[in-house]
Amino acid sequence: MPATQHLARDLRKALNQLVQDGLLNASHGRGWYVASAGSNKEWPNSLESFSETAARMGLTSSSTVLTSATRHASIDEAEEFSIAPGTLLFALDRVRYLGDVPIAIDFTRIPANLVPDFEKTDFRTASLYDVLLRAGLAPVRADATIEAREADAYAAQHLDLEIGKPLLVMNQLVVDAADKPLFASKIQYSGERYRLRTFFARSTPRR
pLDDT of 43-61, one tens digit each? 346 778 888 877 777 778 8
CB 145 within 8 A of CB 171: yes
Domains and CATH numbers, the chain: 47-190 (3.40.1410.10)
> DSSP 3-state assignment of 100?
coil
* ∠ Cα 185 191 197 (to 5°): 80
pLDDT, residue 16, reads: 58
* Spatial distance between the Cα atoms of 65 and 190, rounded to a whole number of angstroms: 18
- % of the chain beyond a pLDDT of 90: 49
pLDDT, residue 139, reads: 92
* Spatial distance between the Cα atoms of 70 and 168, rounded to a whole number of angstroms: 27
Tell me the pLDDT of the chain averaged across its residues: 81
Lowest mean pLDDT among 56-60, 74-78, 167-171, 173-177: 56-60
> DSSP 3-state assignment of 10?
helix
32 vs 195: which has the higher pLDDT:
195
CB-CB neighbours of 59 under 10 Å = 16
pLDDT, residue 128, reads: 92
- Give the mean model confidence (pLDDT) for residues 31-40: 46
Residue 161: burial class (beta carbons within 10 Å; 0-12, 13-18, 19+): buried
